[in-house]
Structure 1
Amino acid sequence: MSRHAMQRALLWALLLLFAAWFLTPLYVMLTTSLKDMDQVRAGSLLSLPTSPSLEAWARAWSSACTGTDCGGLKPFFMNSVLMVVPAVLVSTAIGSVNGYVLSKWRFRGSETMFALMLFGVFMPMQVVLLPMSQVLGWLGIASSIWGLILVHVVAGIPSTTLFFRNYYVGLPDELIKAAMLDGAGFWKIFTRIVLPLSTPILVVTLIWQFTNIWNDFLYGVVFSGADSKPVTVGLNNLANTSSSVKEYNVDMAAALIAALPTLFVYVVAGKYFVRGLTAGAVKG
């Protein structure tokens, strides 16, 4: 075997090892969720289910207890959908306009404003809990889905602005100047020229925001009420609910249900996410 072939074989072996290392927890969760409790107790973590069943999934979705409520994850899942969709769309839209302004319509102090906005990217989430609670109280939307939407929109604007601004810096300024000479205004240039060229960064930002908001636990547990808790809070309550028998298969099914949307997004659009990053989403 040649040296090149040996190096290639070693590389593949390492990649397969790392893939197995990261995928083993997912495999254990999936197989455990398809077993009944007798097999869970009697078998090993890595054993395949002898009689696969979706009963644990059905219980996790509709009848598992999350504290004193035994309605499953369904209401929490729907709360997350109602929260994530508008929060992702609004924060992405605002970030695209901000990036457009800060890259192609610079004004005095725009660089300083952009630098200040970057503080929001690196600021710990815990810092804003108290002031955000006060703001939500003043607006009368505390402990509601609307409050969670506002929190995630505000928290997401620095990141979305950073993505779009760095991407738009790479667009030729001549496009904007030529459109201005033809009489196009701010919004016409943005909608007719800039947005059609923004598909890579739009995909990156949408996936980034969707993943961050769907998987968030801190904001969900702090700012939600009894009827507005997202799926991450519901999953935590389900896993920590005490009962006479701990149903690990139901817990695993619930965890997979909570993770399915983000897994689906990355499986379907993961390659577009990578292409968007390499197209300039994080350069500059």
Structure 2
Amino acid sequence: MANPSTLSSTAAAANAVSGKLEGPAGPKPRRPFKPSNIMIYGTLIIFSMYYLLPLYVMLVTSLKDMSEVRMGRTFSPPMDPTFKPWIKAWAEACTGINCDGLSRGFWNSVRILIPSVLISIAVASVSGYALSFWRFKGSEVFFNILIIGAFIPYQIMLYPIAIILRELGLFGSLGGLVMVHTIFGMPINTLLFRNYFASVPMELFKAARVDGAGFWQIFFQIMLPMSLPIFVVSMIIQVTGIWNDFLFGVVYTKPAIYPMTVQLNNIVNSVQGVKEYNVNMAATLLTGLVPLIIYFISGKLFVRGIAAGAVKG
């Protein structure tokens, strides 16, 4: 006769094996494409195609030679891909009296971008921190002025700024354009930093004050280490706005120091010679690469910073 303990252990083992074979208990996982989600996914796909299709056309056109472009096969991939349009757009295309492509404008844009971004973010971060924790007399008035400044149309300020730059001796210089971008970038960035710092618990600030920390100690040792997401948001906003700017660049500079967008306009709208659509498309993609690369590298931090700096406060 079999031992009862052996039978019970065997039954337990069999039950355990059968349980493993049957799979985990609980409700079945939800299907990803339920009928209620068809409209959501369909809408997302349509909007994705709407934004990606022009980019695809630009890319495939920039890799074709003009004989293939003239065939009218707009959406077809290149039969014999070539990077000559990219080389010409970068180093050979004429942008007025100069025929050195976009390379000159690229370095002009870099020289404008770096100081404008660094100065505007530095000033805006300190201003937002002061408006959040160090409420001085008249701080609300100052903050309201910044809010108004963030929504004033740039176009109505063109002539007054031109007069100011002329009086300062900065009209037609890179320094003048850097000052313009810095000033116009501070209102919206100060608002973002102020809202982000306002979401930090006040108890943390009070504890630092009790320990004897001052204005700059709290800023550098407590606020900055926890503020990477909002710095990324501010950087992306500034980089995108400054790099893609055409209006200020064409008004406040001169041909020798035109930024990349102005030179792109000169290439695309040139009325001399044959219209080279492949070179135009390559030049357009080259001009847009910098903000795209920065966004793809720091996209997750951008979303986190927007959620923290634009909703709370």
TM-score range, shorter chain: over 0.9
Residue 127 of structure 1 pairs with residue 156 of structure 2: yes
Residue 56 of structure 1 pairs with residue 85 of structure 2: yes
> Which residue number in structure 2 is paired with residue 46 of structure 1?
75
TM-score of the aligned structures, taking structure 1 as reference length: 0.96
Query: Structure 1 residues 242, 3: CA separation in 2 closer, same or farther (over 3 Å shift)?
Result: closer
2:259 to 223, 230, 240: 230
Unaligned 5+ segments in structure 2 are: 1-30
Aligned residue for 1:134, secondary structure, equals helix
State which drifts further: 9-18 or 218-227. Answer: 9-18
Q: Distance in 2 between matches of 1:196 and 1:271?
A: 17
> Which residue number in structure 2 is paired with residue 66 of structure 1?
95
Divergent runs of 4+, >4 A: none
> Which residue number in structure 2 is paired with residue 218 of structure 1?
247
Amino acid at match of 1:108: K
Query: Structure 1 residues 142, 3: CA separation in 2 closer, same or farther (over 3 Å shift)?
Result: closer
Q: Distance in 1 between matches of 2:205 and 2:268?
A: 54
Pairing of 1:1-284 with structure 2 (within 5 A): 5-284=34-313
TM-score of the aligned structures, taking structure 2 as reference length: 0.87
Deviation at 1:244, TM superposition (A): 2.6
Q: Distance in 1 between matches of 2:209 and 2:110?
A: 40
Unaligned 5+ segments in structure 1 are: none
Corresponding pairs, count? 284
Whether the 8 Å contact between 2:193 and 2:309 is mirrored in structure 1 is: no
Whether the 8 Å contact between 1:204 and 1:281 is mirrored in structure 2 is: no
Amino acid at match of 1:63: E
Q: Distance in 2 between matches of 1:32 and 1:89?
A: 36
Aligned residue for 1:8, secondary structure, equals helix
**Backbone CA RMSD of aligned residues:** 1.6
Query: Structure 1 residues 191, 141: CA separation in 2 closer, same or farther (over 3 Å shift)?
Result: same
Which has more radius of gyration? 2
Amino acid at match of 1:78: W
1:58-112 alpha-carbon deviations (Å, 9 max, x no partner): 0000110112321101000110011111101110110000001111000121111
